[in-house]
């Protein structure tokens, strides 16, 4: 009836109980023996069926055979410096543990339990009540409850197959070690129900996203550490067990499973929460601005989920949480009864930045000034009405996050020839009075060519190659916002010219209108 899964689970429980006992030992319980050879027990007052740890300064073998009183026992290596064993059923009073490394005296009391059948029934009934009290919110959580219900049936069938004596021993094992997960269960029961999304019910401060979710990260770290304490080093435990001990282990895990459900819900909600302002804000900010004209900064602001690589140094809490979750995950997969381990998610949502979230400062050119802000758009002004180059500092502060960067920019003035020469470059369409249209591509430096022509019936002809007949030359002239533009082609100096309108970029000539596309 035993399986590898049963063995792995019992062995981790053995180690976890050993570690739990080690962490909670009392100084007045540790009584050095006459020959302990540097081996120290976690406690010397023990009860039957209790898991006890020993700490040794020696290099340890994987296991040792010994006797406790007159009963053979196996001591299993649970870490580089610890061994663990289960106190057998012996008489109360002083008993001596003997094995290769040490001889240690213990004071033994009897673990007492009620009727085995009644205790098992009460444990299963409590499990049913705890499951009924759960409040699933996601398909995964509903599936988790189904798997717990199935696991309960499997455990019930396993217990029913045990003999009366095995059931009795299973319940005694449960009674002796059931407090192993009590700190974790108590911590989980103190948590509010439901998602940890930014909400008023939480005990964490709602000052901003960063403070709120780091508070929850701290809570989650505590729970993860408590659970890890019970499950660590499973792969290094090699002991012997009976069907009764496997049954007792199942009863203990049945007790803790609803709390693990709630822990998984909190961990999953935290890992799916979109609360970190992405630091990729400044990748697409424009380099060129037009004098006194608003331009969107293209900040690409978004809130995203936490990431193990990008956020390992977000705070000391998140660094510890990543390590603790990774450590717990090493052993979680060995226990199908626990469900899937919470996974990291790559999720994000757009973040709206208002004017107060963006600060522009430290403009390096005294001839440039900030002329206005509106949401994610800004405008600069050239004091002298000329083209200028400058640097400025942009700082974004949102939900507790703050990012800043020094950027370079160029300001194009509307009353400059250079501005219009730059704007002229591109595709232009000339419409004749007859309805025919010519398409021109004007290039930097005053050159260009006619690329297509469309007749009055809408039939378009592409002109290729571009010979001397279709070569175009263009120029801009004027001052003080009174600029004109003209070009000629066909080697006959047929010209089109007139005052430029901005930003429409259009002129009206005697040959018909011409407009930039």
Render each residue's pLDDT in the chain as its tens digit; 517 residues.
444 444 444 444 444 444 444 444 443 444 444 455 689 998 899 999 988 888 898 899 988 999 999 999 988 887 788 888 889 999 999 999 999 999 999 999 999 987 999 999 999 998 888 888 887 877 878 888 888 888 888 888 989 999 999 999 999 988 998 888 888 889 988 876 656 677 655 678 888 999 999 998 999 999 998 888 776 433 333 344 677 877 887 888 888 888 888 888 888 889 999 999 998 899 999 999 988 889 999 998 999 998 877 776 678 888 889 888 988 887 787 665 777 788 888 999 999 999 999 999 999 999 999 999 999 999 998 888 788 999 999 999 999 999 999 999 999 876 666 677 777 888 988 888 888 988 888 888 778 888 888 998 889 988 876 666 777 777 776 654 445 555 565 544 556 666 666 666 777 776 777 888 8
Omega into 465 within 30° of 0, i.e. cis? yes
Alpha helices in 333-459 (DSSP H): 417-424
Report d(CA 112, CA 119) in Å as an integer.
12
Predicted local confidence at residue 105, as pLDDT: 95
The phi and psi torsions of 19 (rounded to 5 degrees) equal -70, -40
Q: How many CB atoms lie within 10 A of CB 323?
A: 16
The rounded Cα 101 to chain-centroid distance in angstroms is 47
Report d(CA 76, CA 460) in Å as an integer.
88
Report d(CA 367, CA 385) in Å as an integer.
9
According to DSSP, the residues that pair with 382 across neighbouring strands are 368
Q: What number of H helices and E strands is found in the chain?
A: 9, 27
Predicted local confidence at residue 89, as pLDDT: 92
Q: Residues 231, 234, 236, CA angle at the centre, nearest 5°?
A: 145
Contact between residue 276 and residue 305 where contact means Cβ atoms under 8 Å apart: yes
Q: Write out the two tokens for 261.
A: 């459900």
Q: Residues 105, 237, 56, CA angle at the centre, nearest 5°?
A: 40
The phi and psi torsions of 14 (rounded to 5 degrees) equal -60, -45
Q: Write out the two tokens for 185.
A: 């269960």
Report d(CA 450, CA 428) in Å as an integer.
9
The rounded Cα 157 to chain-centroid distance in angstroms is 39
- Secondary structure of residue 135 in the 3-state scheme: coil
Predicted local confidence at residue 293, as pLDDT: 85
Sheet holding 348-350, edge to edge: 276-277, 302-304, 348-350
Report d(CA 351, CA 416) in Å as an integer.
38
Contact between residue 46 and residue 87 where contact means Cβ atoms under 8 Å apart: yes
**Helix or strand holding residue 493 (H, E):** none
Q: Residues 21, 24, 29, CA angle at the centre, nearest 5°?
A: 85
Omega into 503 within 30° of 0, i.e. cis? yes
Q: How many CB atoms lie within 10 A of CB 112?
A: 10
């Amino acid at each position: 009836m035993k399986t590898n899964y049963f063995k792995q689970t019992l062995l981790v429980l053995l180690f976890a109980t050993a570690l739990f006992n080690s962490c909670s030992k009392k100084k007045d319980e540790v009584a050095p023996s006459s020959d302990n050879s540097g081996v120290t027990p976690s406690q010397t007052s023990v009860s039957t069926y209790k898991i006890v740890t020993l700490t040794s300064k020696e290099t340890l073998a994987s296991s040792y055979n010994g006797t406790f009183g007159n009963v053979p026992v196996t001591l299993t290596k649970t870490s580089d410096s610890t061994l663990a064993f289960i106190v057998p059923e012996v008489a109360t009073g002083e008993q001596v543990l003997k094995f290769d490394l040490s001889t240690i005296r213990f004071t033994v009391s009897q673990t007492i339990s009620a009727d085995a059948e009644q205790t098992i029934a009460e444990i299963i009934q409590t499990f049913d009540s705890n499951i009924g009290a759960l409040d699933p919110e996601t398909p995964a959580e509903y599936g988790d409850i189904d798997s717990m219900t199935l696991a309960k049936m499997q455990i019930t069938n396993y217990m029913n197959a045990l003999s009366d004596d095995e059931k009795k021993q299973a319940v005694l094992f449960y009674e002796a070690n059931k407090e192993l997960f009590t700190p974790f269960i108590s911590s989980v029961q103190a948590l509010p129900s439901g998602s940890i999304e930014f909400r008023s019910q939480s005990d964490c401060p709602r000052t901003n996203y960063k403070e709120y979710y780091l508070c929850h990260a701290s809570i989650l770290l505590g729970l993860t550490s408590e659970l890890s304490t019970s499950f660590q080093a499973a792969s290094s435990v090699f002991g012997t067990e009976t069907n009764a001990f496997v049954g007792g282990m199942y009863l203990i895990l049945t007790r803790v499973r609803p709390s693990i459900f709630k822990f998984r819900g909190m961990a999953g909600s935290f890992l799916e929460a979109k609360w970190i302002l992405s630091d990729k804000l400044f990748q697409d900010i424009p380099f060129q601005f037009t004098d006194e004209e608003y331009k969107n900064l293209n900040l690409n602001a978004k809130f995203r989920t936490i990431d193990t690589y990008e956020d390992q140094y977000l705070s000391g809490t998140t660094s510890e949480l990543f390590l603790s979750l990774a450590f717990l995950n090493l052993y979680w997969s060995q226990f199908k009864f626990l469900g899937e381990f919470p996974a990291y998610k790559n999720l994000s949502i757009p973040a709206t930045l208002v004017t107060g979230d963006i600060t522009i400062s430290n403009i390096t050119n005294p001839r440039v000034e900030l002329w206005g802000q509106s949401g994610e758009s800004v405008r600069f002004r050239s004091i002298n009405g000329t083209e200028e180059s400058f640097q400025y500092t942009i700082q974004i502060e949102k939900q507790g996050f703050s990012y800043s960067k020094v950027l370079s920019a160029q300001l194009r003035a509307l009353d400059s020839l250079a501005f219009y020469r730059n704007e002229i470059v591109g595709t232009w369409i000339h419409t004749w009075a007859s309805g025919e249209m010519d398409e021109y591509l004007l290039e930097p430096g005053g050159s260009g060519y006619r690329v297509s022509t469309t007749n009055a019936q809408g039939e378009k002809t592409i002109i290729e190659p571009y010979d001397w007949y279709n070569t175009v030359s263009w120029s801009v002239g004027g001052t003080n916002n009174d600029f004109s533009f003209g070009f000629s082609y066909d080697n006959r100096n047929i010209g089109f010219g007139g005052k430029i309108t901005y930003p429409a970029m259009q002129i009206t000539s005697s040959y018909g209108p011409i407009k930039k596309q």
